[in-house]
Chain A
Amino acid sequence: MKRMKSLLVSAVAGATLLAGTQIAQAGESKTNPIMGIPSAALARFGGEYGVHNWVESLFYYIMLDNRINYIFKEFGNVDRQIALNTQLETMVLGGPNEYQGASMSAAHADLGITMTQFNAVVEAAYNACERNNIAYYTCNHLIAALAPFTRVIVTK
């Protein structure tokens, strides 16, 4: 019974992932920070598994923050976003590009995200690093890798 349920959940998750890639403009590519990303960055995050843990913490802090959690409640899907963000962050930290979601511009275009809201997510990102014992300097590599998305995500 339990097994059935988890199978069902993963099937649904898979379906939404697929649907997502079909409706929105698919894919996103690595960013190009001027000083590069050290080859050890992904390993210092604990590999893909570590990145997944970090994303879990990220959403824990996002959903606790009343300045932004309502946006995710209304327009987001936390499970899907944890899966997709794990892929995206693994990629920008130098891992393989297995990202199956929408482009950052397509995913955020209609949300009217402000700089203040974006910074709130960045604060959650630092909190997640602290929570997961990821060194501040290592955390900054991820911030450097994600920062260029600000241009398309912040539309207000």
Chain B
Amino acid sequence: MTNNKSKTLRGLFLGAGFIAIAAFIFTGCPSQQRMLDTGDAAQKVYVAPGEHDEYYGFFSGGYSGQLSVWGLPSARLLRVIPVFSQDPETAYGYSEETKPLLETSYGFIPWDDSHHPHISQTNGDADGRWIFINANNTPRIARIDLTTFQTREILEIPNTGGNHASSFVTSNTEYVIGGTRFSIPYEEDLDVPIDSYSDAFRGALSFIAVDQQSGRMELDFQIIVPPYNYDLGRAGKGPSSDWVFFTTYNTEEAHTMLEINASRNDKDFIAAVNWRKAAELVRDGHGRTMPGEFYHNYYAGKQGYAVNDVKNGVTVLDTREIDEDFIYYLPTPKSPHGVDIDPTGEYIVGGGKLATVIPVHSFSRMLEAIENGAIIERIDGIPVLDYDSTIIGEVENPGLGPLHTEFDGQGYAYTSVYISSEIVKWSLETFEVVDRIDAYYSIGHLLITAGDNVNPEPRYMVGLTKTAKDRYLPTGPKQNHPAQLYDISGGRMQLLKDFPTIGEPHYAQAIRADKIVNQVAQIYEMEENDHPHAIRRIADNRVERDGNVVRIFMGSTRSHFRPDNIEGIRVGDTVYIHLTNFEQEWDVVHGIAIKGANNTELLVAPGETKTIKWEPKRTGIYPFYCTAFCSALHQEMQGYIRVSAADSDVQLTWRTGTN
């Protein structure tokens, strides 16, 4: 089935360009819906019941704030990991353990916009230890542990408005990078007129160091740069490993109607930062401390409550104050969006959102240009290199609105093209388009299996698109965002599957399952439970009162709670239920729900302890029950709590098993 609407649209957009493209018709242009014979496509995505997929796909949730985990090629949804948004199903952001993770210098925030998941790397290849993801709105970076698939840490990024150019890692996960999309007044809470933009506003590029053992993040330093919009970033590879690259737009320094005002200049910049040199400058005392409150939230132990470590101040390098060069601007056509580095580390590909070509810079030529002083001007001390001295190719006829590029390791690059809604495949040797295929509709990022690694795996590609329109059964005026799975193992791209996702799958990464699968935890080991309110022996189940605070230390196993009859709670009490799941069998989960609780249920994994806070407002008998279907006697897994008046003298008692 072809789609007439999109064909018409493309006709309109491409206009005269179409004629040029028509010349390529026999080498695969223009793009089209190209699918294998339906049966063959079905077979390629068929994973038999009980069999496992070949890849894990980690899709950001965009405005859902979460991270979803998919099996590829079947496109089966495996799990949604809550990261920046509360999740009543798992009590994430509701339980006492997880609430601190969502604290910021602006207070508790129940939501964010998660954009770019990035798997930790060793020698430029994804290693599956952790996955990082950025919060765009209130700038933060989260780290998810890929043994428990649990958000373990969230670090707030100060001096930043819209942490979009994030959370990409360097080749050995030395740093996770961040960049401000909005430039803002950079001293904390500076209250200035908006039209003082060019004087008072600045951008910040963030370098977050990662502890190689624990994964713990630390904001090592920020680079203060001219007030442009810093859009995306990527680290170099191989020879360029010591560098990271950020795109900029709005070099016009507009602060209103950017749609027009920030699209005037012919070229904006890719900022190339020698992070190793910058880090040395910081070590040698060239930085200064800028005030700024930010939260660092993490689990100090294996279990327990996440802690809030409130920081004040960050080390900054200001290009206006430092003589040595460690950052360079590479002029790049028209508001580049993505910047992607090929597997060899030599090509720096810009996604010239409004450009008619895909510009490709050469890393080695860039080094030569620096050596030869091919500098056309300096902006706030930052050398701007001559365009012709760094550019090595311009891909012609890429379609309208090229955005992001990934690689297959076999000499080809694949660029998503937004306006003409297609993916173009081009050669890194000839810089010519060799194939193109439709996307449904309006593609943003794309992923290739290991496609940003030093060793990509030319198996699958997923296009992450922004509108579904007529692709599936309609579900009202707003529909879920789609994704398309393509086979790239042959010469030409083939569409295999088109499936709806969660939230907005903004960017995604796929890692071969065998790199992770053996490290995945099946239980939390009881012996290692270091939660301060865990019970480690069922005999320790009890209820304690301290003034108005009552703590219920409860244990669960199939199919009962201990204790399950509790009396002596009073209206006005703050009750904490610390539920330890004594199961040590994979995936045997217990939950607890209490009638009338203004909160969520708890879901507690085997060997885990979780806490819910409950403030009963009325006297009465409160039933509670296990929300997880845990055994044949699940429906028997229940109990009662008696709540008496504030001034009652009912004794605090608890029991199990004595009728």
A associates with B: no
User: Interface of A with B (CB < 8 Å)?
Assistant: none
